Amino acid sequence: MKVIGLTGGVGAGKSLVLTILKTKYNAEVMEADKVAHELMEPGEEGYLGIKETFGEAILNSDGTINRTALGKVIFDNESAREQINSMIHPLVWKRIRQKISASQAGLIVVEFAIMGEEAEDIYDEMWYVHASEEVRMRRLLKNRGYSKERSEKMIRSQASEQEYARRCDRIIENHGSVKDLEDQLAEILKSRG
């Protein structure tokens, strides 16, 4: 079993890389963001922590977390973002470790956008999907319909290109065609054996 950590800033194209790895290489994909969402379901440990910290105002009428309201809290208040991250991130990595232990896959890819040292022991290599800030902005505006302001804020809230590159074993350039990306992945996986 090989475990690859896959990271990169918002709009870099991690989802496309995951799709290629899943469909062409039968990789089992674990997305930290989706695991975080699982942990915020009613009754889960993350849900209980968020409800206790931010109160009923962050909940929908059915008791679920209002993700829009939570998103505003996170992106408008750095202290709140750090508080949520320090609460949720350890739970996410604990759950991912459990999923890896239970997996029978030959290749597991764990995708995450937020850099942190708490999970560096779970993967054999870390890959960084890189696209220039200009390309990322264009993708966020076109593909997700985000405003320029929101896109800039999201990009600025993440690690710098240098920080991502410094902590990764491989850099995957994603500013060309899908075929270019597929060729890079084929070469990397061939060289890994």
> Which pairs from 65-73 meet CB under 8 Å and 24+ separation?
65/40
pLDDT tens figures, 83-127: 888 899 899 999 999 999 999 999 999 998 766 666 678 889 999
pTM: 0.84
Those residues with Cβ within 8 angstroms of residue 109's Cβ, 6 or more apart along the chain or in another chain: 3, 4, 6, 18, 21, 22, 27, 28, 29, 30
1-27+106-193 and 32-104 agree in CATH topology: yes
> Could you tell me which residue, 68 or 160, shows the higher pLDDT?
68
Q: How many CB atoms lie within 10 A of CB 64?
A: 12
Write down the domain spans for the chain: 1-27+106-193, 32-104
- With contact defined as beta carbons under 8 Å apart, do 20 and 139 qualify? no
CATH 3.40.50.300 correct for 1-27+106-193: yes
Q: Which amino acid is at 164?
A: Y
| CATH for the stretch 32-104 | 3.40.50.300
Residue 14 marked ligand-binding = yes
Annotated ligand binding at 15? The verdict is yes
181 is in an annotated binding site: no
How many other CB atoms are found less than 10 A from the CB of residue 11?
25
Per the annotation, does 13 bind a ligand?
yes
